[in-house]
Structure 1
Amino acid sequence: MNKLAKIALLLVIAMGAFFSSCSTEDPHIVCGREWNPALQLVADTTSEFELINPMIVQFRYGTGFDFPTLKIAFYEGTEKSKGREIWNYETKVNQKVSVYTLQGHSKRGGLMTAAELTRHRAPGPIVIEATSGDRLLAVKEIMLVKNKP
């Protein structure tokens, strides 16, 4: 190969690596016990929470929101057999945002517990849905368990 062909091949490989690193993640819901304020991300993701564990819910879209409103709803049951709606929160969003975090402060101090945030006091499965209008964006199923001694 001549020098020009080698440079062109190297340039193509570099551009391929650059564009593959720019891929976006699929919309998803992350639940965790720890908040990293520097990165504005939920750490220690899990799907099982003791009722007294701190809990933060974060919806990650990957790119700027391309919809005007975001609704996060909590339901009893599982993804396949969703029960009654426990509560929901709807907010306006814009294209400058790609992550939305739902957290609160407990009456006892610190972050809200799983029981407080889900507004469900008994152990069992909970479904969290993120929607915009009639469009389902992401679903996450978590399990609330009794407090371990």
Structure 2
Amino acid sequence: MSDRVTVVQGDITVQDVDAVVNAANRGMRGGGGVDGAIHRAGGPAVLEDCVRRFPSGLATGDAGWTTAGDLPAKWVIHVVGPNHRAGETDRGLLVSCYARALAVADELGARTVAFPLVSAGVYGWPLDDAIAAAVDTLRDTASDVTEARIVAFDEPTHDLVAGRISG
């Protein structure tokens, strides 16, 4: 469904959606970037649910959900993207993050989901390919999600995502 993928510039933690996607690390205990922001804004309930539901964390490419705590969303869907800088260059793992997040959203009944660009920050995935993987997977994967909103942190990234969506 080509019209379900949208882009906004802003802060993923304030998006008024059913679920936000967190670019987590394997341990699922918080971290930097999007992960740290979601844990800070969501409060301790997010970490407590991560510890309870995922005592051993998650594998790269997988997804799981927790409460969203104090976030406007109902749920956080945590995905573990590949760390390109550490040699994890299998694009299939990055694509899997988006496909698995949509599957989890469907299980939850979430219809509006906000996504970061998984692995494009500290994990060093090349930005153009991170955008292509996100837009193409969100566009082409069967799902009941009606809006897959990519949240770009800055204007240049927003413009690149918008170009990919319209192109």
Structure with bigger RCO (C-alpha 8 Å, 6+ apart): 2
The TM tier, using the shorter chain, reads under 0.3
User: Which has the larger share of helix?
Assistant: 2
TM-score (norm 2): 0.25
- Greater C-alpha Rg: 1
TM-score (norm 1): 0.27
User: Which has the larger share of strand?
Assistant: 1
